[in-house]
Amino acid sequence: MRTSNEMATLAGRSGNEAAGVDSRAFGSVETMRPIQSFLSKRDFWYLQKLRRECAAIEGGVFPLLSHLIRAKLQDAHILNPTEEAGSVATLGSRVTYSIRGTEPQSRTLFDYGFAHDQGGIPIKTFLGVTLLGMKVGQTVPLLNASGTTEPLELVAIPWQVEAKT
């Protein structure tokens, strides 16, 4: 397994230096910990798969995204089937969020099966990974590729794919 600094170095050697990640950005993930999230078993499994995919790509923001996902998985609370998931953002949920206190926006968290032109948030982004597992009313740091953060609040979940009836 490579260290964070080795991964950042590899990102710079990938031929895509413009999208390379500064090794200091990896420290930003550690300062965000513990990353409080509440994941369904399905979302936990999906993030494990996504982390492996991102770790296999040596360029751009993927090493940093993999590092963020690993930290999120290590700190996550896994929801039992009997726990209510209605107030937790899960894959396929419609979420309303605000970045830096701006006007809230509503989008759907999606993976591969959702058209990009339908106004969704790909899970393979810092925003998607961060929103997944958040509870309504929760505010957490949203990491970006430069390693800086800004506040992200989950305002509401208008539609929940895993909500109990």
Q: Is residue 100 part of a domain?
A: yes
Residues 22 and 50 in one domain: yes
Q: Is residue 55 part of a domain?
A: yes
Residues 19 and 53 in one domain: yes
Per-residue pLDDT of 50-80, as tens digits, reads: 999 988 887 778 888 888 898 899 889 999 8
Residues 102 and 144 in one domain: yes
Choose among 42, 52, 66: nearest CA to 132: 42
Residues 110 and 149 in one domain: yes
pLDDT at position 135, please? 94
pTM, two decimals, is 0.78
Residues 23 and 49 in one domain: yes
Residues 116 and 61 in one domain: no
Residues 71 and 103 in one domain: no
